[in-house]
Structures are given as C-alpha cells and as structure tokens.
Structure 1
Amino acid sequence: MQQLMFDIDGPRFVDAQGRHAILRGVNLGGDTKLPFGHDGRNPPRDFADHRDVSFVGRPFPLDQADEHLSRIKSWGFNVLRLLTTWEAVEHAGQGQYDEAYLDYLTAVCTKANDYGLAVFIDFHQDVWSRMSGGDGAPGWVFEAVGLNLAAFDAADAVHVMQQRYDYASSEHRQEDRYPMMSWPRNYQMPVNGVMWTAFFAGATLTPDWIVDGRNVQDFLQETYLGAMRAVAERLSDLPNVLGFDSLNEPALGWVGQKVSERRDGPDASNATPIWSGPLWTPLDCLKAARGLPVRLPVMKRTGIGKPEVIGETDLNPNGVSIWLNDGPDPFEVAGAWSLVDGVATVGDEDFFRIRDGRAIDHEHDFMAPFFARVAASIRSVRADWLLFGEMCPYLMIQGKTFPQPMPERTVNASHWYDVEILGTKRYDPDTPGNDRSQRYAFQLGFIRAMGLAMREGGAPTLIGEFGIPYDMNDGEAFERWAEGDHGADVWRAHSQALGAMYDTMDQLLLSSTQWNYSATNANDLRIGDGWNQEDLSIYSPDQTTSENDPASGSRALEGFSRPYVQRGQGVIASMAFDARSLRLTAVIEVDEAVAGVTEIFVPNWRYPDGVAVALSGVPADWIHDTVSQIVRVKASGAGSLKIELTAG
C-alpha cells in the first residue's frame, strides 16, 4: 500500500517528502447531488423512481474526465473534495450497493491520481435527502423508520423545489412558490426534525424506537457507515485518496429546543437560524406529522436583521399523516407530547433539552461518539486515512468548537461563507472592502483556531466549502455574456469577491476546497448547478470559448486562479499576492532535512511573458517550468528564505 499523497504534521499538511503543503482545490461537484439525467429543467416530482436511479456519470461521464480534470489542474488546484451521497451508493435498498456506481467512482479517483490531484470523499447531504428538499439519504430509509415519503408534500412536511416550483411557467424566480435560497427552511420542518433527531439522539430520547432489531439511531448510523465502508473498500489502494469527510453540515434536529416554545432566532440552546417562511416549533412539527392541521406565523427577512412576523398560514389543512399506518409516533410514545381526543398536549417541555436532570450537550453527547464511529469505520479499511471533521455550521455562530476528544488524525474541515453575499446574491465591486476584509480575517481566524485547539500540537484546517453565487446581481453577468461581452470585466464583481476571500486564506495559510465545479452548469436562473436554484460553479459549458483559451469554461478566473506556494522546502511562514501588481511574496523557513524544493504555482495566463524571482536570506536558485506552471526554488542552507515573484 503506497504512502498517502499528503499527510498531516501538527497544524500543517505535508507531502511525502515532508514539505509543508497548501491544499487548494474545489468541490466536485454540485450536480452530484442528483441522479444522472435529473437536472433543473423539469425533474421527476413524486420520487417514485427512487430505488431505480443511477449516479453513474456524476460528476461527469468517464469519457469527459480528462477534459475536466486537466482543466481543474491547469487552474492551479491540487485537491478535490469529491462528492458522493448515501443515496448514490445504496438507493435500491438496505445493503444493496450499486456496484456499477462503485466501479465508476473508483475510476474517477484513479483518473484524479493520474493528474496528481488528491481526493477526499464527502458523503454529502443537505436537509437530509432529495425527498425532503435536498440530497443525501435514500428514499427507502424513510420507509424503514416508519415514514410515508409519498405523503410529505401533501402534509406540508417538506419544502421541495420539484413539488413547489412551476416548471411550466416562464418565470425563473418564483418568490411566491419557491423563494430564492429557501431550501434551508426544511431544517425547521417535520421530516428533517424527525430524521436528524433520530439519527443523533434516538438512543437517548426514543429508546423504544426499534428498527430492524436496533434502536433507530444505531440503525441509521450503522447503515450510513456501511455505505461509507463500501466506498472505502474500493478506494483503499489509491495513494491520492486522503480520507473521508464525516458528514456534510450535520444538523441538530430538535435537540436543544423546548417542545412548544416559538423561537425568534438563534439562541444559546439552539443555533439554527430562523428562515423566511412558516415558523415551526417541535410541537407544530409533531402535530402536522401526526395528521393535524396547524396554523403558524409567517416570517420574512428584510436585510440582515432578524426576520419579522408578516402574517399567518394554515398548513396540512387536510390532516395528512406522514407516519405509515398512522403511527405510532415514537416521540409521543416516549412522552414528549400526547394526543387525546384530538387535542395535543405537551408531556415534557424539556424533552429535547434535558435528560436525567442534565442539559443535553449535542456536541459532547452525540457528535463526539459519531466522529469516533466514523473514524473507526474508515480506518478498519485503511488505518492511515484522515478524518475530515464537520460540525453543525451554525454552532460556530455561538463560538462553539469541536468536542473533545477528537479522533487522532482529524482535520478541521469546517465551512465558511460570506452569508450576506450568499443570501442576497448581490455584490457591489465599487464598495470599499476594508470592513469586509476585517470580517473575513476575524471569521476565518476563528475557524483556524478551532483546528489549533482540536488537540495538543494542533490540527490542520481546510475550509471545506466557501464560494460565491455566479447568478448574483440578477444574473447580470449572464446577460452580458449572451450579448457577446466575453471579457474579464463581465466577472469583475465575482473576481473581486473571490480574491478577497483568497487574500485572507493566504494570510492565514489556510487550505481550502471552493464550492464548486459542476460539469452541467448553465447560465440559467432556473438551472444553475442543477440543484435548488443554486449557482456557485466556477465552470460552465456556457462559458466555453476556444480550445487554446486557458479561461475557456471558467467564470471569474482572475478570482481563483492565482499564484501560491503549493509546497515549501520546510515550513511556509507567510504568503501574500497582490493581484494589481502581480506580486507574490512568501517566506519559507527552510529545513535542510526536508527533501524536495519549494514549488509555487504560477498560472501562465497571468504571466504570459514569464516571471522574475528575487530571493534573499539563505542562498537559493530557481527555475520556471511553464509546462507544469511551477516555479521551483531550491535553497542550499537552513533559515529564512524570502521569495518575491513578479511579472517578467
């Protein structure tokens, strides 16, 4: 078994030669959340085919792999956060792994190895499943725990684009039916509340909820990890596969909430934001799930402040139950509430908050054993794999960090977005950016500190997701492109926003995987990355120009394809890039015991006339390989080496 392409040493990534490495990559890709053949144009609505779908061809057909991977490599990336889903692996039924898909995924990873691209596997989810408004778990899981997925929409228990959006309409933005960026509201709704609470807290809160001879929590986690092991066993011999993400953006369910208290925003007991739309309590969810009509206040967010109540709405007016055979409801059985003569009564207001006289701590009580379980599962296949750990992203708002102890060889793979840009899809490139830069430094600095505090000696941080929407400012860039304006100025807002993010990550020496690269993206406000009107792909076939154009297919190339130190002959002490002067400065603390030279990615398209490199400190020489787009600097002594790279 070959040594991993990259490993960790305290708070740093290192390569096989012991060089400090910066991993800079991309998520591949957003459309991988959907079965092959499904997209944003008019996807199937009733999910009746959920056992018969195929994800072979996601993120792209194999005969396109060279095209996409060579492009990703040429833009300067050296790592992929490669998406898969539980559904992709096990959609047909429990234990029925899709062997054709596993063959395909192995072939994609093997191709990535041919291009020198490291990979870590992300078992992705958003709001639990496609059937509950996102992606992740297969449909049969709902049936296994006693839920009728065919009733979800009729009971108003989910908010799903396939069922709420009018695809026959010419209107691409339908704010009255499916508002922009509205999919996260599912976290507050009945199906997500049931599933996430069961996944993490079933053994604690509903000990008598038995599925397939086990408590529901054990059933869900063991089955999920079984799918992960099926992938792991196929990839164990590949040196570029570094390990696995624990689970994308795990949610809290109802843990920490009072049963009937209506929150108006994140608080000390529950960090989940309040989104525009109906405002649910756990009791409202349990009632609607049981088949009772509910009347809820409707919230609307104006600006970046708290949402305000703008009215009321009646949901599940026809009294549709989402429990198979009308129950029983395991939470009612466990005493959270009761339904007597049609009247719902709270049984224990603190059911989701306090157990045996002690406040439930989601991270310590549920996430810590889950992290340990994931680590043990993947390392039963390959002992040196890294665990890329994620906690609920909203907990960081409260200043919370990873539970202790974390498994050895864990990477802090937390996510970070400029929430204002992401939520409003607006950015003005002419607005001074000092406040934004300071905010980025503070927020990303906190995330980096989470990694440093993860264990003695620190752990590396890799920002697992960050990025910008390309349909921002009402799709202005798409309109200009369609009119024939294909210059870099079309993407000025996007490039500036991305550049500020990379500036901060350079300052903090953070590794990262940008969200995302979708091979099927379209310049269409309805389609985008093919999923829930999101459009954050740095690539689109609609941006294809000519074969010899290095920018062909790219969006905002100036924002993300930039020089940086990929590997240092020792420790990378500092790094900064000034896009206006094309000046990269870096300091390497050279260690003579480290084999190999410092390698700097230098994109040819930025430096068409070559580069000039000034070296000071320890004696060193440099060469520029324009084929690989790498400047190599070899120092001949230990100490500080300052590198200043400019246009030739």
Structure 2
Amino acid sequence: MFGKPHLRAISKMSTSSIGRKIIRSYAIPLTTKPLLVYGNGNFKEKDTGRIFHMHGINFASNTKMPDMPMQTTHLNAEHCGLYEDGDTVSFVGKPFPLSECYQHISRIKQCGFNTIRFVTTWEAIEHEGPGIYDLEYANYITKMIQMIDEVGGLYVFIDPHQDVWSRFSGGSGAPMWTLYAAGLEPRNFEKTNAAKIHNHASDPQNFTKMVWATNYNKLASETMFTMFFNGTIFTPKANINDVNIETFLQSHFIEAFAFLMQHIKNEIPDVFNSCLLGIESINEPNNGFYGLGDLNEFPHDQQLRLDETPTPIQSMRLGMGIPEEVDIYSLSMTGPTKIDKKWCDPDGIKAWATDEDNHDKHYGFRRSKNWKLGECIFAQHGVWDSSTGQLILPDYFKVHPETGEYLDETKFINGPFLEFWSKFKTRMREIDNNMFLIMQAPVLQIPPNIHNKTKYLDERMMVSIHYYDGMSLMFQKWNKMMNVDTLGIMRGKYFNPIFAIVLGESNIRKSIQKQLKNMAIECYENVGYSIPVVITETGMPFNMDNKKSYDDGNYESQEGANDAIMSALEREQLNFTYWCYNPDNCHQWGDLWNLEDFSIWSKDDLTGFRLNGGNSYDEWLFNNATLRGSSRSDGDIESTNSHSDISINKELIKETTRHLNTPLPGTSSGYELNSFNDLKLDLTDGIRAINAIVRPVPILINGDIKECQFDTKKKTFHLEIIKDRFHESVDSLPDIITIPEYHYNNQNFRIKVSSGVFEIRHNVVSQWIEWDHSMTNDRIVELDIELIENYTNTTSSGCIDSLKAFACGYL
C-alpha cells in the first residue's frame, strides 16, 4: 500500500493561505475533451491550447478470442469447438465482465496511461455470417466505453485487430465464413501446411516461439490478403454475390466496423466529443502474394522462417494435397538457418473447400460459374497446373496482368492499400466528420506518399506504426551486450546483417531510440509534418529467460528491456499505446494466445488483493478506498455489492473530517477535507516490471518538450519545456505532469522548478503536479524530481517552513 501522501499547496495564493489545503471538488489530471492537431503533428486541447502527449496502452489482448465458448489457442481444436462453434461464438465478456471494468480502468490510470487502444475484431461483430451483426456485443462495447468515460481521464480509439488474417489461420481477426467465401477449408490448414496453428500442437506448451507469425508466408493467410486487397488483379474469376471477392471482403469488413461506430454514435453520441478519439483502419495489413518475384523462391524480405517453411509454389501444391519435401528452419542472430528437411504428405487432403461441404448454401454465397470449388484458385488462373504440379507463371504476382507494370511492396502500399484506406475513410466520415481516422500501413514499411493529396488526407487523421525489438521478441531475452538494428536491416542499410550488430547496453538503447525516430521521420516525410504519428504497438515479452522471473520474482531483465523502449519513446516525445494489458494473463500460458506474454499485469502476480463492487464509479471508489494514512490487509475486503460498506466508509470519512478540521499549528484556519481527495486506492498489485512501466508522464504542456528523462534506479525525473508564448496568457491553465505515488510518496521526494509555481494534487488513484509558468519570461523552463532521505513534513511546521520550501523551489 502507499504510505501517507502529501498535498501541500504552494501556488498562486495569498500568504495567509500557505499551510492550508485548497478545497476543490473531486478532480482528475486529464479531463477528456476535443483535441485538435497542432501544426507540427502534435495534439492540443481545443479550448486551452495545451499540448496533449499520448501515453497509452493496448487494452486488451484477450479480446482476440471469444468468451463463449471459452477459447484460447492452446486448447485442442477437436475439444474446444474451434470449428463447430465458429459461427455461434460470443465475444461479450471480453476483455472482462462489465462488473470488473472500474478495477481495470482505474489500474491503467494509476499506471499513468491516458489513452486506450481498444482491441476488437471483425469476428466479434460479424461471426455468424455476412451481414449478420452481433447487437449484444455492440451494446457491450458501447456500455464499456460509457463506463470508461464515467471513470474519466482516458481517451479511447478502436483497433480493428487481426493477425495473419484469422484465428482459424493461426492468428486472430476475421470470421470463419470469410475463409469459406474464398473457397478455403480451414479444418484442413494444419494437415496441408496452409497454416501453423497452436490449437493443433501435440505439445502446446512447447509450441515454437513466434512461429504463428510465419503464417503470413503460408497459403491461407497469403491467399486471403491477396484476395482482400488485390482480388480484382490476381483472381478476377473469383466473383461471389455478383462482385469480386476483393469487393465482397472489403465491403463487409468496412461495414462491420461502420455498424459498430454508428451504434456507439446512436447510443452515446456525447463520447465523440469527450473520450472517443476515433478508429484505426486495420491492424498490420499484409500484401499477400502481391509483388512476389518468383514462386520457386522465398521472398527476399522473408526473414522469419521457423519450422517447416515451404516456398510459395510448395504451399500451393501442398494445398492441393500433393506431397512435398520442405525445408526446416531455425532462427539465429544473423537470420534464418536451414537445419533439416521434412517430407510433408497431406494424404490427398486439400486446403480448398468442395461443393459437398455445402458452405455456399449455408452462408448464402452465389459463386460465379467459372470459379470451381475444390481447386486452387491460382491454378484456375493459370499460375500452375494442379494435375502435374508444374509451375507455369513464376512471376504472376510480380507483373500486373493488364498494364505489365512491375509490382513491389511500395507500389502495393501506394496502390491497393491506399485505395482500401480511401474507401474506409469515406465510409467512416459518413458516420462522424470529427473523429480521428488512423491509417496503418504494413508493419515496418514506409507509409504511402500522400503529402498534399486531399483525397486521402484531412485534419482529423493520424498515422500508426508498430515497432518491436526483433532480438528481444524472437529470443525472449534482454541481451544487454548485443543487439541488431532491426529497421536498418529492413531498409537494406547493411550489405551483410553482421554489420547491423550493436554492442553494449548504452548503444542498444540509443539504437532503439534512433530506429523509432527514423520511423517517425519516414511518416512525416510521406504523409505530412502536420499529421500526428502514433506508435500503436511496442512492448517487450515478460516470459524472458524461460520464465525465470516467475520462480524468483526478479524482473530486472524485463525492467531493463521495457525501460529501453519507454525511455526512447519519452526522449523522442512520441505518442504511443503500449502492448499490452491482459486481464487473463497467467504464468503458464501468458496472454493465452500463441504463447505470447506481453501483459504488464498478471493475475498470477497478485498477492491476494480483492475488491468490492459498485453501481457507479463513485460508489466503487467509496467501497474500495481507504483513508490516506490508514492501511488494511489484503484479505479485509470481499467481493460484494453491499451498500452497507458505503455507509461505513462514509462514517469513517466524517469522523476523520471532524478530527482534521481543527487548526494546524501556525495557521489560523482548519485543515478541511474533501472526502474523495482524502481517499487512496492502490491498484498496482500484479503490475510487472513496475519500476519501468509506472513512471512520471507529462500529459498536458504549454509548449514543446525539449527533454524528458526518468531514471528507473535513482527515481529522478527531468523535464525541459520550450514555452509556447502564443498560447500562454494570464488565464492559461497549468501544465499537468502525473507523478506516481508508487515512486513518490510519504514526502520522500523534492521537486525543483526553474520558474513558476506549482501544486501537488491527488485523487483516489492519481497524483500529479500542476505547474504554472505563464507569468515568467524564461523561454525554457525546467522541472526536476528527486528522492530525498529523512525529509520532514513541512505541514506541521506551519507557514514559515512552507515559505522556506517555496523559496528553495521545492516542496
């Protein structure tokens, strides 16, 4: 639990007020309100002009999987109803029951996060069949956003999430019927090597780390992305319900999320002017086969090869039940290494659905007569001969069949992907003209060059990019001695990957910072310097060193790794949403999805803390908070909705108020107490690598941040601001910097400012600084926080000691 906090008001007040707490109603450091885009690509509050810095979290990764029936990727496909219940699943209850919402949202706030990237999937909305939307799920999401708005202090945007297309092809995202619409049979993917699926692993605990991502280069995912973005180019025969498969899939995807956003708008329109920022386009899109030079060879950028790795033509043959000898790969620091071969025999089973499967009738598909089920769609377009296995057109996806133009990923991003973005943008603008629309290009690729192209741009737009440290991600270890420049390799900076090696922790941290900076610059140069860039995914795995931390409780490696990322983001002042928070995380199965383990919180790291319920956020706070300076054991609170607990807490508050409303030594007035502001609630139990995750955050600033640094070991914090003279005035509101009580409590710290005056504030879950430097002439102002030893309470010394503290520039 937190120790006794301090709230002393050294601010713009008369001398007689010093030593007395200023009475204010229950407050939060950030009140969500409409944001505008500042000229240099920053966000600013519309009414105050203060720059808003996004310090967010992905919430939550368990929403990739249905709640009913309960599904995780480690459950056996035959026993968990993976396929049998594919149409009838429900995602209501993911990420958690609404009764748990206040707890998780408040914990996120206490960690200093101010934005939620809300992870949801196409499958969650439209799982039963094309055009059939789950209204109960839409109501659930709407209610959750309403509760987040009630809690306050958190912006939200919707993430239409996918990984390698669908959970039926080894990831998450699209409903099962989309695979049947493409003519595929997902039940046969594992047997035909069309996808590597955790649900089919004989030993799910030892499923190869990160092998799920290799599905981007396997038949199922490549076929779906090729059809979704490029069906009119490469599969013109694939017409369904009177349109090409590209139009069919894209229109259903866009309309599913249009339904969700419109439902939110109809039910709770006010959130569009407060906490709901907008919606992203699609998570981690992929070009499929587009631009592939030779179907006999691996793509030159396919650096991730693990386990059985067929070439593209081998994938097509295996998909038609033809046996192939496939190379087996492992990963080393210098890239993929071939270690063996394996004879893969599907025994005549095909990855393609047949007429006998009756899926067309079930879903109401009307397929064109020249699209033959049970046959590889690419064989039907003359790419190869499925009867002999002969490859006929090895460069089919490299040359545009109509124009003869050579194709590559850059042309994909500036062509088919951009056209999808245009359709998405147009449809979402029909719902709301003011919400932010967030464009995300393929991972680690340069976004489209749309600078000054008004068809694709407007003033309510962001660009999303993702970054993970490849070494830490693949080897699940924080190697402080050696790393590699992941972005440099992707951009072809090095003749040989050996030259991308970075030595020493200091250089590794600088390399990560430089990579993030360069990615942001690429976005600004291609999309425009006035368009905000948001790192919507970055993070570090917690199951490092074979889960050693779960045995000894030492999270030093995870703290070092997460601090390297967090520090880089802070130093470059990049807006971000960290990956991730997962309320179901456990030590055995991590995030319960393909053995990933990124959640900053785990129920297995709890020490037994339990919480009461509540019919409103205020009631929930009263039910669970304690008075500042008091303590309780974790077992004192049971999960309940009893109203008797509220009256008991209120009586305690009244009694404490009576005692505190006596004059303090050296003052002429009493110490008045606001019931909310004199309560505390510690929700950090279960937060992992807490010294790196929980840190000071400048969230609303009058100017541009020149420098921002937090030392996780010394707990020092340094902030430099270049003042924005244009927006500051006598009536301007102060800067807001959250300072977590986990680090700064019991008056164990000193704050120094170069100019201006400040006040330390707190509510039940947050502590922050309000710093007013509007009346100073300094162009650059600085704030420092440091821990101190044997720091005495100036409150009991009265006005004189308080003035002394003020004169010294600290509290």
What TM-score do the two structures reach when normalised by structure 2?
Answer: 0.73
Task: Give aligned-pair identity as a percent.
Answer: 26
Partner of 2:461: 410
1:59 CA drift (Å): 0.9
Which one is further off, 184-193 or 575-584? 575-584
Equivalent residue in structure 2 for 1:384, among 404, 410, 434: 434
**Change in CA separation of 1:75 and 1:394 when aligned onto 2, cut-off 3 Å:** closer
1:551 CA drift (Å): 2.8
Greater Rg, structure 1 or structure 2? 2
In the alignment, residue 191 of structure 1 is paired with which amino acid? A
Equivalent residue in structure 2 for 1:324, among 350, 353, 360: 353
Verify the 8 A CA contact 1:571 1:591 in the aligned structure 2.
Answer: no
1:260 CA drift (Å): 2.6
**Root-mean-square deviation over aligned CA pairs:** 2.1
Please give the per-residue CA displacement for 1:516-537, whole angstroms capped at 9, x wherever unaligned.
110011111xx11110111110
Query: What does 1:76-155 align with in structure 2 at a 5 Å threshold?
Result: 76-115=112-151, 116-155=153-192
Partner of 2:659: none
Please give the per-residue CA displacement for 1:582-639, whole angstroms capped at 9, x wherever unaligned.
22222222335354221001001101134433222xx521000032311011123363
**Change in CA separation of 1:329 and 1:317 when aligned onto 2, cut-off 3 Å:** closer
Verify the 8 A CA contact 1:522 1:529 in the aligned structure 2.
Answer: yes
- What is the rounded CA distance, in whole Å, between the counterparts of 1:514 and 1:541 in structure 2? 19
Are residue 459 (structure 1) and residue 531 (structure 2) matched? yes
Partner of 1:624: 760
**Change in CA separation of 1:463 and 1:394 when aligned onto 2, cut-off 3 Å:** closer
Are residue 492 (structure 1) and residue 629 (structure 2) matched? no
- What is the rounded CA distance, in whole Å, between the counterparts of 1:192 and 1:420 in structure 2? 25
Are residue 39 (structure 1) and residue 72 (structure 2) matched? yes
Which one is further off, 214-223 or 10-19? 10-19
1:8 CA drift (Å): 2.2
Is the partner of 1:605 in helix, strand or coil? coil
Verify the 8 A CA contact 1:367 1:403 in the aligned structure 2.
Answer: no
Partner of 1:202: 231
Verify the 8 A CA contact 1:577 1:583 in the aligned structure 2.
Answer: yes
Query: What does 1:549-564 align with in structure 2 at a 5 Å threshold?
Result: 549-564=682-697
Verify the 8 A CA contact 1:4 1:241 in the aligned structure 2.
Answer: no
Are residue 245 (structure 1) and residue 378 (structure 2) matched? no
Query: What does 1:492-571 align with in structure 2 at a 5 Å threshold?
Result: 492-524=556-588, 527-545=589-607, 546=609, 547=634, 549-571=682-704
Equivalent residue in structure 2 for 1:166, among 173, 186, 203: 203
1:165 CA drift (Å): 3.6
In the alignment, residue 761 of structure 2 is paired with which amino acid? D
- What is the rounded CA distance, in whole Å, between the counterparts of 2:101 and 2:773 in structure 1? 37
What TM-score do the two structures reach when normalised by structure 1?
Answer: 0.91
Are residue 590 (structure 1) and residue 724 (structure 2) matched? yes
Equivalent residue in structure 2 for 1:307, among 336, 342, 352: 336
Please give the per-residue CA displacement for 1:387-421, whole angstroms capped at 9, x wherever unaligned.
222221143xxxx3433244323322111111111
1:504 CA drift (Å): 1.1
Partner of 2:517: 445
- What is the rounded CA distance, in whole Å, between the counterparts of 1:446 and 1:631 in structure 2? 32
Please give the per-residue CA displacement for 1:228-252, whole angstroms capped at 9, x wherever unaligned.
1011112332121111111111112
Which one is further off, 216-225 or 602-611? 602-611
Partner of 2:312: 282
Are residue 255 (structure 1) and residue 290 (structure 2) matched? yes
Is the partner of 1:291 in helix, strand or coil? coil
- What is the rounded CA distance, in whole Å, between the counterparts of 1:643 and 1:445 in structure 2? 24
Equivalent residue in structure 2 for 1:608, among 724, 745, 750: 745
Query: What does 1:422-433 align with in structure 2 at a 5 Å threshold?
Result: 422-428=473-479, 432-433=504-505
**Change in CA separation of 1:289 and 1:298 when aligned onto 2, cut-off 3 Å:** same
Is the partner of 2:210 in helix, strand or coil? coil
Please give the per-residue CA displacement for 1:133-169, whole angstroms capped at 9, x wherever unaligned.
01100001111222122222232221101112436xx
Are residue 646 (structure 1) and residue 782 (structure 2) matched? no
**Change in CA separation of 1:3 and 1:613 when aligned onto 2, cut-off 3 Å:** closer
Verify the 8 A CA contact 1:259 1:336 in the aligned structure 2.
Answer: no
- What is the rounded CA distance, in whole Å, between the counterparts of 2:575 and 2:325 in structure 1? 47
**Change in CA separation of 1:40 and 1:3 when aligned onto 2, cut-off 3 Å:** closer
**Change in CA separation of 1:348 and 1:9 when aligned onto 2, cut-off 3 Å:** same
Equivalent residue in structure 2 for 1:344, among 369, 374, 389: 389
Please give the per-residue CA displacement for 1:558-585, whole angstroms capped at 9, x wherever unaligned.
1111012111023333322223332222
**Change in CA separation of 1:112 and 1:291 when aligned onto 2, cut-off 3 Å:** same
Partner of 2:417: 367
- What is the rounded CA distance, in whole Å, between the counterparts of 1:202 and 1:320 in structure 2? 25
Is the partner of 2:99 in helix, strand or coil? helix
Unpaired stretches in structure 2, ≥5 consecutive residues:
1-30, 355-372, 483-503, 610-633, 635-680, 789-811
In the alignment, residue 782 of structure 2 is paired with which amino acid? K
**Change in CA separation of 1:278 and 1:21 when aligned onto 2, cut-off 3 Å:** same
Is the partner of 1:285 in helix, strand or coil? helix
In the alignment, residue 184 of structure 2 is paired with which amino acid? L
1:468 CA drift (Å): 1.2
Unpaired stretches in structure 1, ≥5 consecutive residues:
482-489
- What is the rounded CA distance, in whole Å, between the counterparts of 1:316 and 1:394 in structure 2? 35
- What is the rounded CA distance, in whole Å, between the counterparts of 1:645 and 1:592 in structure 2? 28
Which one is further off, 96-105 or 238-247? 238-247
**Change in CA separation of 1:493 and 1:112 when aligned onto 2, cut-off 3 Å:** same
- What is the rounded CA distance, in whole Å, between the counterparts of 2:323 and 2:317 in structure 1? 7
1:549 CA drift (Å): 4.8
Is the partner of 2:594 in helix, strand or coil? coil
Count of aligned pairs? 615
1:446 CA drift (Å): 1.1
1:257 CA drift (Å): 1.2
Partner of 1:485: none
1:428 CA drift (Å): 4.8
- What is the rounded CA distance, in whole Å, between the counterparts of 2:32 and 2:113 in structure 1? 21
Verify the 8 A CA contact 1:243 1:386 in the aligned structure 2.
Answer: yes
- What is the rounded CA distance, in whole Å, between the counterparts of 2:304 and 2:116 in structure 1? 32
Is the partner of 1:186 in helix, strand or coil? helix
- What is the rounded CA distance, in whole Å, between the counterparts of 2:109 and 2:552 in structure 1? 28
In the alignment, residue 262 of structure 2 is paired with which amino acid? E
In the alignment, residue 757 of structure 2 is paired with which amino acid? D
- What is the rounded CA distance, in whole Å, between the counterparts of 1:634 and 1:43 in structure 2? 59
Equivalent residue in structure 1 for 2:705, among 572, 584, 589: 572
Is the partner of 2:415 in helix, strand or coil? helix
- What is the rounded CA distance, in whole Å, between the counterparts of 1:64 and 1:3 in structure 2? 22
Which one is further off, 377-386 or 216-225? 377-386
Which one is further off, 236-245 or 527-536? 236-245
- What is the rounded CA distance, in whole Å, between the counterparts of 2:505 and 2:463 in structure 1? 28
1:424 CA drift (Å): 0.5
Verify the 8 A CA contact 1:564 1:584 in the aligned structure 2.
Answer: no
Verify the 8 A CA contact 1:550 1:605 in the aligned structure 2.
Answer: no
Is the partner of 2:578 in helix, strand or coil? strand
- What is the rounded CA distance, in whole Å, between the counterparts of 1:204 and 1:506 in structure 2? 43
- What is the rounded CA distance, in whole Å, between the counterparts of 1:212 and 1:403 in structure 2? 34
In the alignment, residue 20 of structure 1 is paired with which amino acid? I
